[in-house]
Amino acid sequence: MPEGPEIQRARDELAEVLEQSKVSKIFFAFDNLKPYQGKLKNKRIVEVSAKGKAMLIRFANGYTIYSHNNLYGKWFISPDGQTPDVKRQLRLSIHTQEGAAFLYSASDISVLKEHELANHPYLSKLGLELLTANTTWKMVTQRLMTFRKSRRSLMTLLQDQSVLAGIGNYLCCEILHVSALHPETRICDINDQQLQQLAQNSLLLTLQSYETKGITNLLSRAKKLAKQGVEFEDYRFNVYRRKGLPCYQCGEKIVKDKFSGRMGYCCLGCQPV
């Protein structure tokens, strides 16, 4: 599933062809949304924004298209407006004079009025957004401190969108590794220094992944491996998808297992139980 950084980068690409442009053509695949085609055609798009793992496309007439990619949804941008040659189900397409945006395979799409956004079942429960310009590590620390007495594991807490919006499985595994915390460690069992470090790493790795198109590994190491001819998917992570390979830091083999009911990766040398 795309996580916060991937959705934010998709937002940036969508904004290039949609923001401040009038819609020349729009298509919804779902029958219940087709009546909105006439209401949104020739209307100006005033803003494209990412909220957690959701995308919001706001129109000047007060409507907003909400979409969540879930596991398989993906946006494609076409500067010339041509339909991409992909083997997926088209769910939504929006055309402007700047190009076109196509959403494939997503099933969670709706059109909302402005007053409905605040009560949306996903949007209304989102926690602190990590990829907004004003978010600081101190704010992340304060947010995590509100769960200080919780007995929940860090593996489940960090991926709860009502806690910190945008962290999914790969970011969670990577954040816990660089924080030297085992996935099943409970937040009530870590000290203040560990919590502060966890907050800093949550923000820094999410920002780094956004800025580098998915790299959470140490950047100097990733650059060195890239120069050696290592493929991107093989150098971008510290532990994620590296089962059986040696940890870059201590040499122990990376393990893949279920932690608190969620599949994940960790190094037991760096992240002891």
| Catalytic annotation present for 211 | no
> What 3-state DSSP class applies to 213?
coil
Catalytic residue among 9, 51, 53, 91: 53
2: annotated active-site residue: yes
Catalytic residue, chosen from 2, 58, 184, 242, is 2
Q: Specify whether 6 is catalytic.
A: no
The pair of three-digit structure tokens given for residue 234, joined into one six-digit string? 């093989």
Name residue 225's amino acid.
Answer: L
Catalytic residue among 43, 88, 152, 262: 262
Other Cβ atoms less than 10 A from the Cβ of 101: the count is 26
Query: Using the 8-state DSSP alphabet, how is residue 273 labeled?
Result: -
Asked whether 136 and 62 are in contact (CB, 8 A), the reply is: no
Write out the two tokens for 212. 């580098």
Strand partners, 112: 64
* Bridging pattern class, strands 128-129 and 164-165: parallel
**Residues near 47 by beta carbon (within 8 Å), at least 6 away in sequence:** 19, 56, 57, 58
Helix (H) / strand (E) element for 65: namely: strand 63-68
Amino acid symbol at 112: L
Concerning whether 143 is annotated as a catalytic residue, the answer is no
How many other β-carbons are positioned within 10 Å of the β-carbon of residue 202?
Answer: 28
Report whether 235 contacts 227 (CB < 8 A).
no
Residues with a catalytic annotation lie at 2-3, 53, 262
